[in-house]
Structure 1
Amino acid sequence: MDGTTLYSIGELSRRTGLSVRTIRFYSDSEVVAPTSRTPAGYRLYDLDALLRIELVCTLRELGIDLAAIQRVLNRELSVAEVASAHADAVDVQIQMLQLRRSVLRAAAKSNASPKETKLMHRLAQLSNEERRRLIDDFIDGTFGKENADPTAVAMVRSATPDLPDDPSTDQVAAWVELAELMRDDDFRGRMRRTAVHQAHQRTLDIETEAGDALMEFTRLKLDEVRATGIDPLGDEAAPVVDDLVRRFAEAFTRAPDAEFREWMAQQFEAGHDPRVDEYWRLVWIINGWQVVPGLVPVYTWLVQALRKAR
């Protein structure tokens, strides 16, 4: 085919691989108009028309709409401009598909009900601005806008959850759980009390009165049992807890009975509320962190073990 030869729509179909019907549609839509017509009215196309149709095919396969293609052919837009804009749109679509996939996997993993799946989907689809607003509302509602402890507020804000554009199944599940937790008034009260203690790294009364030697022994023992994965509610935890209760009872000259165990639990819980520790665990998952210095729940294991029914 040269620059002067004209070809019928059938010949153009054979050279491009497009159906006659498709080429006719492009002609009727004025995307690629015929070069001329025969006396009988049949359409004829030249080399330029062939090249235009090939470009249309390429752009259509890339998902670009006919209106944009028409502007490219009319030299109102360059291929680069259209490709860049479309690539941005595809990025958004990919993010939404990835998020949808994560929600579906999280729903399947947790055996979520239809209502829970709907909530999971709605919360995961919040924009970054909406997520920040939810977090700001939580912090303002927890600490108050006036007379708030600035150190505690700064600590919480420095470790705010940030759901990535392509979250994992666990990150989506953690975000949904965290969003529900932040709306709980009882939890907000717990967070307010515990965060102030953690932010100022205050020593618990029981730590001061028990003495450095006993507290150092306790921390090392708790690190050991947590590292080995011993369940605080399991039978393996019993001898560890019984030994600690005995040592603390001697230090405080009290009987190592159920009442003393509960008193110990209340004392250690003052600095590490289990629900607050769960908040930080969820934040770590969402942000992909391994550890947040100063917020390791040292005593949560002990509090749970102390309160286990005996």
Structure 2
Amino acid sequence: MNGDALPTLLTIGELARRTGLTVKTVRFYSDQGIVSPADRNPAGHRRYGTDAVARLDLVRTLRELGLGLPEVRQVLGRERALSEVAAAHAAALDVRIRVLRLRQAVLRTVAARGATTEELTLVHRLARLTEDERGRLVGEFLAAVFGAAAVPGGAAVSGGSAVPGAEGCWGGVAESLTPRLPERPSDEQVEAWVELALLAGDDGFRELLRGLAEDEAAEGATGAPPRPGLAVLVRRAVGPAVAAGVEPGSAEAARVVAVLLERYAELVGRAGAGEQLRARLPARLVECLVDRLVDRLVGRLRAMADPRRERYLELLAVVNGWVAPESSGEVLDWAVRAVQAARAAQAVRAVRVGGVTAGGVAGPGSW
């Protein structure tokens, strides 16, 4: 012997075992010319060189990544660079992944809501909206709440007249409530968008927000410079009491309520008018005005505490990639219970009504 090692040839069964493929699959690739036998034995059985193992390993990897046989042939035959084929396939997969994410978001939303077949169609349509279509949907929603004049491009969208007394004042608020789904949203952002779009299409929710906007305008908190609205007053007056664990029916809570009512009266009325009116009006009328003030405050707090409002803000933060907003539900609930307890104990009678007017209390409101 000359010492030269003869090349190792593999039967089709041996090649299958080394590559983890079935004999049938190896035979198919051989018939397709993807891998060719190096020789045949006297009986005509195919024999393959060891290089066929590496070639089939590459074929298996490319196929598992989703490449078709024509593309595999092009890569193996060096007709196209692997990087070029990979880039094209990655782009195609990106589109497919986005479609699958939308389908997943639809199914999760339908499952969570216990949706009907009619709602399934609506959810699916919302998930597939283009960027322009999403913009029109959001624009119509904001116009219905604030009026077309407050929404960028508002003349092109349908929906409500301007909030009385707030023409031109709501552009910043409308902007802060506008969802913008990124070009490559996460699964969570897609699901949040679908739920937010459903909420924005709810007539009851639109009416709630429009009422908030009208009350805010009546308070004058949208003027220049704007005054702190009710939400700010509640956080400042009530927040510390809630954090300290003060009971809503306690004497300490009644003192907090007195401060809140006095500041609220100043917010909704005319500054400086209260003491003059107290000197001129009968005590019973003053008590009546305070009762009306309390009624309006409780109604206002309840509207602000509507879970749909907070849910919209939570979803908006997810869609836009913002930090999750701090929940106001506990503070608002405490305020409602504390005001009602103070009224029941007649602890609101001594409140200074700096904001009353001869015609009653101006409409309050806040975001």
Q: TM-score range by the shorter chain?
A: 0.5 to 0.7
2:16 match: 13
> What amino acid does structure 2 have at the position aligned with 1:255?
E
Hey, what's the Cα distance between the residues in 2 that align with 1:135 and 1:229? 40
The partner residue of 1:243 within 255, 258, 278 is 258
Distance 1:230 1:284, change over 3 A: farther
> Given that residues 159 and 283 in structure 1 are in contact (C-alpha distance below 8 angstroms), is that contact kept between their aligned partners in structure 2?
yes
Equivalent residue for 2:238?
222
Alpha-carbon distance in 2 for matches of 1:162, 1:77:
39
Aligned to 1:255: 287
Match of 2:114 in 1: 113
Cα displacement string for residues 231-263 of structure 1 (whole angstroms, at most 9, x for unaligned residues): 9xx767974675357757886752166544223
Question: Quick one: which amino acid aligns to residue 69 of structure 2?
Answer: L
Q: Which among 178, 184, 209 is matched to residue 202 of structure 2? A: 184
- Deviation, structure 1 residue 229: 8.0
Matched with 1:157 is 175
Contact 2:237 2:259 survives alignment (8 Å): no
The answer on whether the counterparts of 1:123 and 1:176 sit within 8 Å (CA) in structure 2 is no
Q: Is the 8 A contact 2:9 2:48 kept in 1?
A: yes
The reply on whether 1:132 has 2:165 as its aligned counterpart is no
What amino acid sits opposite 1:31 in the alignment?
I
The equivalences for 1:1-310 within 5 A come to 7-35=10-38, 37=40, 40-46=43-49, 49-91=52-94, 112-115=113-116, 118=120, 122=124, 125-127=127-129, 129=131, 130-142=133-145, 143-144=147-148, 145-146=154-155, 149=167, 151-163=169-181, 165-168=185-188, 174-192=192-210, 194-195=212-213, 202-203=220-221, 220-225=236-241, 227=243, 239=254, 243-244=258-259, 247=262, 253=278, 254-255=286-287, 258-265=291-298, 279-290=312-323, 304-305=336-337
**TM-score scaled to structure 2, two decimals?**
0.56
* Partners of 2:39 and 2:46 within 8 A in 1: yes
Amino acid at match of 1:224: P
Q: 1:56: Cα distance to partner?
A: 0.6
- Secondary structure, counterpart of 1:45 in structure 2: strand
Contact 1:284 1:290 in 2 (8 A): yes
Give the distance between the partners of 2:128 and 2:255, measured in 1 at CA.
Answer: 45
Q: 1:71 to 1:95 in 2, by over 3 A?
A: same
Amino acid at match of 1:289: W
1:24: Cα distance to partner? Answer: 0.5
SS in 2 for 1:255: helix
Q: Percent identity?
A: 34
Q: Structure 2 vs 1, CA of residues 44 and 172 (structure 1 numbering), >3 Å: closer, same or farther?
A: closer
Letter in 1 for 2:34: V
Which whole-Å CA distance do the structure 2 matches of 1:216 and 1:20 have between them?
A: 74
| Gap runs ≥5 in structure 2 | 149-153, 156-160, 266-273, 279-285, 345-367
1:120, 1:176 within 8 Å by CA — same for their partners in 2?
A: no
For the Cα contact (< 8 Å) 1:36–1:45, is it kept in 2? yes
Once residues 125 and 241 of structure 2 are traced to their aligned partners in structure 1, the CA distance between those partners, rounded to angstroms, is: 36
Shift of the alpha carbon at 1:161?
1.9
Decide whether the 8 Å contact of 2:105 with 2:190 is kept in 1. Answer: yes
User: Which deviations, in whole Å up to 9, do the C-alpha atoms of 1:71-113 show, x marking residues without a partner?
Assistant: 21232322222333334455556666666677777777x5x42
Q: Could you tell which deviates more after superposition, 58-67 or 113-122? A: 113-122
Q: Match of 2:170, SS?
A: helix
Instruction: Give the structure 1 partner of residue 283 of structure 2.
Output: none
Of stretches 116-125 and 61-70 in structure 1, the one that deviates more from structure 2 is 116-125
For structure 1, list consecutive stretches of 5 or more residues without a partner in the other structure. Answer: none
Greater Rg by CA: 2
Aligned in 2, Cα 1:5/1:103: closer, same or farther, shift over 3 Å? same
Does the aligned pair in 2 maintain the 1:222–1:301 contact within 8 Å? no
The CA distance in 1 between the partners of 2:122 and 2:322, in whole Å, is 22
Moved more, 156-165 or 21-30: 156-165
Indicate the SS of the match to 1:25: helix
**1:160 & 1:284 partners in 2: Cα distance?**
10
- Give the aligned CA root-mean-square deviation in angstroms: 5.3
The secondary structure found in structure 2 opposite 1:76 is coil
